[in-house]
Structure 1
Amino acid sequence: MKDILDKAKQWLTATFDTETQTEIQELISNSPDALADRFYKDMEFGTGGMRGVMGAGTNRINKYTLGRATQGLSNYLIENVKKEQLSVVIAFDCRHNSQKFAKVVADVLSANNIKVFLFEDLRPTPELSFAVRHLGCDAGIVLTASHNPPEYNGYKVYWADGGQIVPPHDGGIIAKVNDLDFSEINFDAKEDLIEVIGKEVDDAFIDGSVKNGCLSENVNRDDLKIVFTSLHGTSIVSVPDALAKAGYSNVHIVEEQRTPNGDFPTVKSPNPEEPEALKMATDLANKLGADIVIGTDPDCDRLGVAVRDLDGNMKLMNGNQTMVVMTEFLLKKWKEEGKINGNQFVGSTIVSTELVNKAAASYGVATKVGLTGFKWIAKMIRDYESMDFIGGGEESFGYMIGDFVRDKDAVTATLLACEVAAFAKQNGSSFYEELLNVYMRNNFYKEHLISITKKGMDGAAEIKQMLSDMRNNPLTEIDGEKIESLCDYQASTKKNLITGKVTNIDLPKSNVLIYQTESGTRIAARPSGTEPKIKFYFSVNTSLEDIKKAVEVEAELDAKIQRIIKEMKLS
């Protein structure tokens, strides 16, 4: 506790403003436990940036932790990008303090003689990714905490290609940040280097979204009835305009959730992965007889899609299902246009469904599989520049079409989801039936995710121990199936647990474990990179011989997943 107190007292010095000093003094005097949580570690500038609870302290998002990160980024840019005038574009979302934090970041960059393009108001994260290349910037920053609770905020860094930072730049920036003392931050803004931007970039982004998300000329877009909710987030400034420009006239917005609000007052969590978050939208869809519901997270990089099942009920697709249908649609269009020649690929991640890989292979298209996170899919585009990137996604409700945005993009993905639904409807099918057709051809894959929250110092230790146990005392059987292999991405090894053969995994190291049985059942475990959680991913599959048996087969797969969860003592 003495170390924590000494660390906290440094925040009572002249380096920090009066408001911060007062907040820390109050904690020292009256709240030792809260003080410990704020100072037991530093807010890490990780491989993509930072995300955490707002407040004073080294383990919080505030002016100083953001300033230190930005000073480190400035130092790295100045040292490694040899240009007469460096430039960075900054965007922010609807969260509390996001606009204020964006100005702090702009001040630090300009103080270091870096030109800043600062969005006039909240904008979607994918527009920030687009703007980096559109404006010819050397980096980009967005202030957002995605779907985290209202008390969170965060900071993500993008490189000149519009993708989030990856090696070697991430490690180089982290080293610069870690070398800094808070007293070394230059907050003295040079206002003449800060340029406010807005409509010109917006128009270019919407035009690009429509071009990439609308692939068919002969689609009756007027006939598709859409319900859209922004869940109080930034997508309200982009998605309705993009739908209108694309020709979708039958769009109904959930008015109670239209206004951006960092408290997210109508939902427990602004996370489109959760059916409860989209309940107001699906209720409206049922009232109106809508075909499709689209909901986006606060920074508009992920989308939830609900569509009518075979019985006419609204059904929320999971991220794997949505990415499978959209990838299949893209592949079919590329094939129809004669553009598949063996030089194309789609992108996925190690915890996403393998059904995407099978579907792509049926069209003669490769699937590049990377670690969790869209920065790795963006990196694939650079690594395979001689190949055509069709699209890519991950299980956590993110998708990217083409490469005009180099991150998951709910604006363009919304247009593509509606394109699939509209095209299917006018041809006597539906979004859901298109998914079942993929299952018929490749097997019915069912995935499920469990997130277990473990907060604070003790929680972090528990998560570490759980993964250690799974790594050092591996499962040998699950639900009566022999475990065939264990992939340990921290050790970069794949071990056949039946033969004992070990092969290397050619991916960056990551604290992820994946078990796979002889029958294709997969169990993955990893700590969340943005929340105090450990995540378990389950994937099971079996054949689907008749679409009419889809409900029955899905129930069997769900029951299998629940047996596995119980067997692993996770329920």
Structure 2
Amino acid sequence: MHIEKNILDKVNEWLTPTFDRETQEKIKDMMTSSPKELEESFYKNLEFGTGGMRGIMGIGTNRINKYTLGKNTQGLSDYLKKSFPGENLKVAIAYDCRHNSDVLGKIVADVFSANGIKVFLFSEMRPTPELSFAVKHLNCHAGIVLTASHNPPEYNGYKVYWQDGGQLVPPQDAEIIQVIENLKYSEIRFEANEDLIEYIDTDVDQAFIDSTVANAGFNTSAFAKQNLKIVYTSLHGTSIKMVPPVLAKAGYTDVNIVPEQAVPNGDFPTVVSPNPEEPEALTMALALAEKLNADIVFGTDPDSDRLGVAVRDNQDKMILLNGNQTMVIMTHYLLEQWRKAGKIKGKEFIGSTIVSTPMMLELASAYNVECKVGLTGFKWIAKFIKDYPELKFIGGGEESFGFMVGDAVRDKDAVGAILLMCEIAAQAKEKGSSVYKELQQMFVDFGFYKEHLISITKKGIEGAQQIKQMMIDLRENPVSEINGQRVIMVEDYQNSTAKNLLSGETEPLTIPKSDVLIYYLEDGSKICARPSGTEPKIKFYFSVNCTIESLSDIPEAEQQLDQKIKNIIAEMQLN
């Protein structure tokens, strides 16, 4: 097999004494036994995407290992010193249940400490939202969490947080990446200063629990809390550390944990994927819910930023809600609570993303608050909070099963979102309603919106090229009509342009550049194409809607909207 010279140059660098003997031996073995794997491991450098850096663990520049994360951390150390001259720098580090997360977390702590930076390192795995909280709580300059979120077991990752508890955003991200790229591996300082590493646990835990209950609790009666039967699964992840104590502190007593999935395990042995977006992941939780006749089911991903929710429909059958539905349910509830408390003064906002349901805009309009819409990823919602200090943030979400209640945590937070959904469900049940009925009434009040997502996986070098070509084709051969409806607007976030196809006028987009295309049809439908920033996938998002007069209109309207989505998918040849 022929291997390109630029790849061989990287391989040869990793065979120098800068790298340990074990690494060199593994590379030599790959050269003879797995040249294809060698190429995949070195053909590029791992890049920061939507949710930080994620990749397969192993040897090479395109893998998560001691050296790639060491280089990141050395570069971040240099950047922090430049950004905060003369300050006593502090960082917080957390890690999830994945294989090697604890080892990699300690390596990252070692490099920071070797650079004279004080490190607060969680003594055990903790949820990502707790790390975001800890950065602000401990007055740190930055934070790191070692996680690959919901990716398969062979993955790990590295998320960077800034002073505000939010993930890196421009311009810091590009500046830090530049510093990292300019570093040599030989410049990484691995020799720890153990005096600068402080292990943290219960004190921060208690502060996080108290903050979560204060932010996501809304005067639900003790009876309603005790009367709500909850089934919860951590899917072998970190949320087991925080969800049970938060619900206990809040007064929920009937919490039933799926025992087979309660023990953290980086192999995620009982699921195909530890992703609550996938219905299969909640199979065991749903079975337990039927056995116990539970009211609501929750499942979280390994680092506890995403949550899946299932509730009972009008026929008493458990159904899974999608991320758009849980987002509008929680946002509507928060808006109603703020309105009742007289806290809406015209200086408040909710947050969403360009690929999420347009129903968020309808909610904002109805409650006289602003809806700020950014790119995919909660770092953009966190950036809105930082950029508009004169506005109060109520809550916000994105379609990929994430939500954030208030601004104490600056990333999607399944812990706080679970408590908020419990409050909604308990109060609804107490008044003879349900979460599902509340959602149906919202469709009458604000418009019936239906969303659907298709993800197409393309792995490896060839896959990345195929995804790139699909986006090129969509741009070079623009669609003018879909399902008998004219395309009236095309937003191209890579070129920062919004083109009105009826008038021919083009306007600039103010949202940062990203490889995203959105089509708007004349009937209000919306179609978005976006390569994933964290997985080898290209995603297509569909949103359709109609107005209905009463609850009795829902079955027919739902059938029509489902058919419309099927027609669009068929016409775009995506099925």
- Structure 1 and Structure 2 fold alike (TM over 0.5): yes
Residue 392 of structure 1 corresponds to 396
- TM-score normalised per structure 1: 0.99
Pairs within 5 Å for 1:70-109:
70-109=73-112
Q: Give the paired residue count.
A: 571
Give the one of 284, 301, 305 matched to 1:301.
Answer: 305
Cα distance in structure 2, aligned partners of 1:217 and 1:446: 30
The answer to whether the aligner puts 1:408 opposite 2:412 as a matched pair is yes
Q: Alignment partner for residue 215 of structure 1, among 214, 218, 238?
A: 218
Closer, same or farther in 2 for the Cα pair 1:94/1:458, shift >3 Å?
same
Which whole-Å CA distance do the structure 2 matches of 1:225 and 1:564 have between them? 40
Query: CA separation of 1:47/1:443 partners in 2, compared to 1, >3 Å: closer, same or farther?
Result: closer
- Secondary structure of 1:529's match? coil
Aligned mates of 2:339, 2:543 — CA distance in 1: 29
Structure 1 residues 255-266: aligned runs within 5 Å? 255-266=259-270
Percentage identity across paired residues of the two chains: 63
1:546 shift after superposition: 2.8
Question: What aligned pairs does 1:152-551 form with structure 2 within 5 A after superposition?
Answer: 152-218=155-221, 220-551=224-555
Q: C-alpha distance in 2, partners of 1:263/1:83?
A: 44
Deviation at 1:550, TM superposition (A): 2.5
What is the distance in 2 between the residues matched to 1:294 and 1:454? 30
Displacement of 1:180 after TM fit? 0.7
After the TM superposition, which parts of structure 1 deviate over 4 Å for at least 4 consecutive aligned residues?
none
Aligned-partner residue type, residue 175 of structure 2: G
Structure 1 residue 504, shift from structure 2 partner: 1.0
Matches of 1:547 and 1:235 in 2, distance apart? 37
Note the C-alpha offset of 1:12: 1.4
- 1:132 aligns with 135
For the Cα contact (< 8 Å) 2:56–2:64, is it kept in 1? yes
Distance 2:561 2:50 in 1: 36
What CA distance in whole angstroms lies between the structure 2 residues aligned with 1:426 and 1:386? Answer: 37
> Do the aligned residues in 2 keep the contact of 1:47 with 1:170 (CA within 8 Å)?
no
Instruction: Note if contact 1:477-1:483 (Cα within 8 Å) is conserved in structure 2.
Output: yes
Hey, what's the Cα distance between the residues in 1 that align with 2:178 and 2:462?
27
Verify the 8 A CA contact 1:46 1:174 in the aligned structure 2: no
Are positions 1:56 and 2:56 aligned together? no
Contact 1:47 1:171 in 2 (8 A): no
Question: Pairwise CA RMSD of aligned residues?
Answer: 1.0
Q: What is the letter of the counterpart of residue 169 of structure 1?
A: Q
State TM-score, norm by structure 2. Answer: 0.98
CA deviation string 1:387-429 (max 9, x = no partner): 1110000000000010000110000000001111001111111
The CA distance in 2 between the partners of 1:264 and 1:21, in whole Å, is 30
Is the 8 Å Cα contact of residues 239 and 300 (structure 2) preserved in structure 1? Answer: yes
Kept in 2, the 8 Å contact 1:47–1:165? The answer is no
Deviations 1:246-297 (A, max 9, x none): 0000110000000000000000000001111001001110111100001000
1:69 corresponds to: 72
Q: Which amino acid in 2 is paired with 1:463?
A: I
Tell me the distance in 2 between the aligned counterparts of 1:159 and 1:237: 24
Aligned with 2:538: secondary structure? strand
Mapped to 2, the partners of 1:293 and 1:223 lie a distance apart of: 15
Letter paired with 1:425? K
Indicate if the aligned counterparts of 2:50 and 2:533 stay in contact, CA closer than 8 A.
no
Give 1:554 shift: 1.9
Cα contact 2:79–2:176 (8 A) shared by 1 = yes
CA deviation after TM superposition for structure 1 residue 556, in Å:
2.0
